[in-house]
Structure 1
Amino acid sequence: MKNRKQNLRWLLIFILVLSVVCYTQYPKLSIISGYTAKNLASCVYVAGRSETSVIDNDHKAGLISLAKAQINAASTSSTSSVFGMHKRQAFYREGLGVVLLPKDAELPDSYLVPRRFQVSSVLPYPQGHGNPRDTVFPEVDYTQLQRGLDQAFSNPDKQRTRTAAVLYKNHLVAERYTEGFGPQTPVLGWSMTKSVLATLYGILQYQGRLDVNEKPGLPQWEEDERREITYNDLLRMQSGLSWEEEYGGISDVTKMLFLSEDMSTPQAEKKLIGPPGSIWYYSSGTSNLLSGLLRKQMPDAQEYLDFPYRELIDKIGMHSMLLETDLKGNFVGSSYGWASTRDWARFGLLYLNRGKWGDSQIFDPSWADYVASPTAHSEQGYGAHFWLNADGKYPDAPRDMYMANGFEGQHVFIIPSKELVIVRTGLAEDPDFELNTFLREVIAAFP
């Protein structure tokens, strides 16, 4: 009798624990299956990778390993579920990338696509699309440079580096790729996309179409203190709007990225937790709000879709770049920009050259200073949709370094004092991939 009572007690405890786990974890399953469906389809249809490679390499970490995803070639889509539950679908659309369908949503029968302005140039990379010049700089220690790249790829199971490139004085001086990746393979930049989005505002300002100190004037903000928010506040992540940037469960950012039809609206609906300019808080919702506000600057949806490619991306030869949109046709400016490593490096060079590309001035030179100047309350770690090293976070890199950073260790480092652009992409970040060590070893090769 005593053993039966003990067994019953342990059974009740097990049921209670199982109930708590199901209650707390079950809502996450839709996020997990949504992530894997979206990532698989984008990696296959945007990056041109194989289904097997993505599943075996990208989907083997953490909770996402619980999902079972597969490609449906007939519909250029993917499906994913966790233990057969929370089935999600993601669809590829030529020119717009992959969209994850929210619950009860349907893919429209037709949609606008960006008009590309791609003109291939025979000039050597990075100015054009020809082979890079085989240039040797006498002041560069090429042995040390190779040691720096060796370090980045020395422990593939832990560091998970995929690509790296180094440009000095507008020349490609080193690059390296892991198996399955090459100079033309598009890589998801994640939050490096934020820096691309901010650049579009710099272009608008240079063209005299907008002043970042202006207020967006959203109707729903006019009745309270949100009416005082400026574009500058949004670009610097100091709007004071409430937001939860937490990826471990159900939060503002995961609901936006994996459950929303219109990603430009969640941040706009939030209330203030402090006056504009009084606090700094990193928010992907803010970037997608800015994407929606950019759309309001355009006469129509077609011009909105064309603008980034005509005025920036294709203008500097980043022909591999694709900005994915949500179901409502908004660029997901927080997260979903794809480009080859060489094209991400082109983006860094544009800033190293202070907006000058060939004979064109893309944005005012002062814009490079603006994005690289510290934002109040960020402890000198953040500018305007760019991260900074003004706080010395990376002690062995110059303090004037600023960077576009993304989830899982995507980086474009811009170092004006060294005339350097360094790109690294992969699936791991600090501490598994030691950024300061990598930067130290590469920078040591240059005077």
Structure 2
Amino acid sequence: MKAIKRILLLLLIVVLIAIIYNYPKLNMLSGYSAKNMASSVFVADRSLAFTDATDNNFSPVNLASDEVDIENKIATSSAFGLLTRKAVYRKGLGSVLTLTAEDETADYLVPKRAKPDNLTPYPYGNAPQKDTVFVNLDYDKIDKSVNFLFDSINKTRAVLVIYKDKIVLEKYADGFTKDSKLLGWSMTKSLLSTVFGVMQHQHKINVLDKAPITSWQNDERKNITINNLLQMNSGLEWDENYTTISDATKMLFLERDMTKIQEEKQLVGKPNESWNYSSGTSNLLSGILRSQFKTHQEYLDFWYTDFIDKIGMNSMLLEADLSGNYVASSYSWAITRDWAKFGLLYLHNGNWNGTQLFTKDWVNYITTPTPTSNGTYGAQFWLNTENEFKDAPKNMYFADGYQGQRVYVLPDQEMVIVRFGLKNFDENTFLKGVIESVK
């Protein structure tokens, strides 16, 4: 009996040590599950059961138990009953993880939105597009190039192909339609960059200026420019790791103000010589944008009034942190057709139906390879200058999000291609087939 008690005591000690060691990870696990559940249910209008079976159904997130309070718009996730996190939905700002009970009922400002244009044909409005058949387009080849993505392996949810401003292919997985909002993840970084482009065009900011960060003015960080930050080439320390406790996971799941964590990091390299992918940098840039406005309301409104709603991306919702900063690294939702409008804005060099939001100079800027990025990165956009996708043109560029969310811009082909899903896929084969469909 004594021997059994000793064994049980030893096992209890082992379990307690394991819990203590992994407790911070449980915070991230339940935090991810709660945040994703709240956004899926209250932003994208999906069900708890669907979200648990799909978006949250991967290890170790699927170990969390989820509940949804529809009336109070709160999602709760528990990791083995040891640690519970909550995420609350705020109209106009999306869902956010709470840190205190007061966060569930706190007051907040809401961005002002424009009314959708449902009379003008797509893409400049939301009415049905005028049908056009292109004789130089092999529609069967496009279909074949897209259909293979919609299987249990590739887990694609939506693909849309635009050629010469017309939708030539639009396909959705079961359970999704043209009205389904989809999460762009890190494609939000490209939206952030575009806001800088709009402000640059309006002479409200100069990206070549030094970053206006007060805490940097007494050390070497004072030499970092906004350009260095947009190119993720600041030399600042940052750990972008989602498999463990890192700067990125602490920021997304533990911070009230996500714009500050990168600001507090020290230099580990030299500006313009040390490219390092950093979601913290994107959120720092969101904070810099906020500092350019006299009021918080103006900051919240500008992204929509002067960019997003200006091009009719009326379904889009940018999610904010507890301090009211847009989470420019990760959280933006919109229907596929609106994501395609974003690509078209760049295909037309910043001109939207006669209105210039930014110039071709900005397009040249965001598609210029960042020093030390091996030609793969511009200014919050990804590039193909080194032919990573060997059968796509070198001047193709794209917004890139976790699990293969993409908005590709192909200037030579006059195409925009959008893909959403739950898994990375064979991009080169897909792009090759679509591109070759143009005779």
Q: Is the 8 A contact 1:192 1:405 kept in 2?
A: yes
The reply on whether 1:63 has 2:55 as its aligned counterpart is no
Give per-residue Cα distances to partners, 1:269-305, cap 9 Å, x unaligned.
1000012111100000000000000000011011001
* Whole-angstrom distance in 2 between the partners of 1:13 and 1:178: 50
Deviation at 1:21, TM superposition (A): 4.1
Deviation at 1:7, TM superposition (A): 9.5
Deviates more, 1:176-185 or 1:8-17: 8-17
* Whole-angstrom distance in 1 between the partners of 2:244 and 2:336: 31
2:341 aligned partner: 346
Q: Is the 8 A contact 1:102 1:258 kept in 2?
A: no
2:419 is paired with a residue of what secondary structure? strand
* Whole-angstrom distance in 2 between the partners of 1:217 and 1:204: 15
Code of the residue aligned with 1:444 in structure 2: it is E
TM-score (norm 2): 0.96
1:90 aligned partner: 87
Give per-residue Cα distances to partners, 1:380-400, cap 9 Å, x unaligned.
000000001111111111111
Deviation at 1:165, TM superposition (A): 0.2
The alpha-carbon distance between structure 1 residues 277 and 105, as it changes in their structure 2 partners (threshold 3 A), is farther
2:33 aligned partner: 36
Q: What is the count of residue pairs matched by the alignment?
A: 439
Deviates more, 1:26-35 or 1:112-121: 112-121
* Whole-angstrom distance in 2 between the partners of 1:53 and 1:133: 35
Code of the residue aligned with 1:412 in structure 2: it is V
Code of the residue aligned with 2:198 in structure 1: it is I
The alpha-carbon distance between structure 1 residues 14 and 185, as it changes in their structure 2 partners (threshold 3 A), is same
* Whole-angstrom distance in 2 between the partners of 1:123 and 1:314: 14
Deviation at 1:35, TM superposition (A): 0.6
Q: Paired residue for 2:191, among 191, 196, 207?
A: 196
Deviation at 1:179, TM superposition (A): 1.3
Give per-residue Cα distances to partners, 1:329-353, cap 9 Å, x unaligned.
0000000011111100000000000
2:427 aligned partner: 435
Pairing 1:280-299 to 2, within 5 Å after superposition: 280-299=275-294
Code of the residue aligned with 2:127 in structure 1: it is G
* Whole-angstrom distance in 2 between the partners of 1:338 and 1:354: 23
* Whole-angstrom distance in 2 between the partners of 1:338 and 1:132: 23
2:380 aligned partner: 385
Q: Is the 8 A contact 1:225 1:275 kept in 2?
A: no
Q: Paired residue for 1:170, among 165, 170, 175?
A: 165
1:160 aligned partner: 155
Code of the residue aligned with 2:207 in structure 1: it is V
Gaps of 5+ in 1: none
The reply on whether 1:132 has 2:129 as its aligned counterpart is yes
Q: Paired residue for 2:147, among 146, 150, 154?
A: 150
Deviation at 1:376, TM superposition (A): 0.5
TM-score (norm 1): 0.94
2:385 is paired with a residue of what secondary structure? coil
Q: Is the 8 A contact 2:212 2:288 kept in 1?
A: no
2:330 aligned partner: 335
* Whole-angstrom distance in 2 between the partners of 1:377 and 1:341: 33
1:442 is paired with a residue of what secondary structure? helix
Q: Is the 8 A contact 1:411 1:424 kept in 2?
A: yes
1:293 is paired with a residue of what secondary structure? helix
Deviation at 1:370, TM superposition (A): 0.8
1:231 aligned partner: 226
* Whole-angstrom distance in 1 between the partners of 2:403 and 2:66: 21
1:317 aligned partner: 312
The reply on whether 1:244 has 2:236 as its aligned counterpart is no
1:315 is paired with a residue of what secondary structure? helix
Gaps of 5+ in 2: none
1:130 is paired with a residue of what secondary structure? coil
Give per-residue Cα distances to partners, 1:87-106, cap 9 Å, x unaligned.
11111111111111125763
* Whole-angstrom distance in 1 between the partners of 2:418 and 2:116: 24
Q: Is the 8 A contact 2:116 2:126 kept in 1?
A: no
Code of the residue aligned with 2:340 in structure 1: it is A
* Whole-angstrom distance in 2 between the partners of 1:225 and 1:106: 37
* Whole-angstrom distance in 1 between the partners of 2:152 and 2:9: 41
The alpha-carbon distance between structure 1 residues 380 and 54, as it changes in their structure 2 partners (threshold 3 A), is same
The reply on whether 1:266 has 2:261 as its aligned counterpart is yes
Deviation at 1:14, TM superposition (A): 6.4
Give per-residue Cα distances to partners, 1:38-93, cap 9 Å, x unaligned.
11110111111122111111111110010011110121111001111211111111
* Whole-angstrom distance in 2 between the partners of 1:217 and 1:112: 25
Give per-residue Cα distances to partners, 1:226-250, cap 9 Å, x unaligned.
0001100000000111000000011
The reply on whether 1:116 has 2:113 as its aligned counterpart is yes
Over the aligned positions, Cα root-mean-square deviation in angstroms equals 1.9
Code of the residue aligned with 1:269 in structure 2: it is E
* Whole-angstrom distance in 2 between the partners of 1:233 and 1:118: 36
Deviation at 1:109, TM superposition (A): 3.2
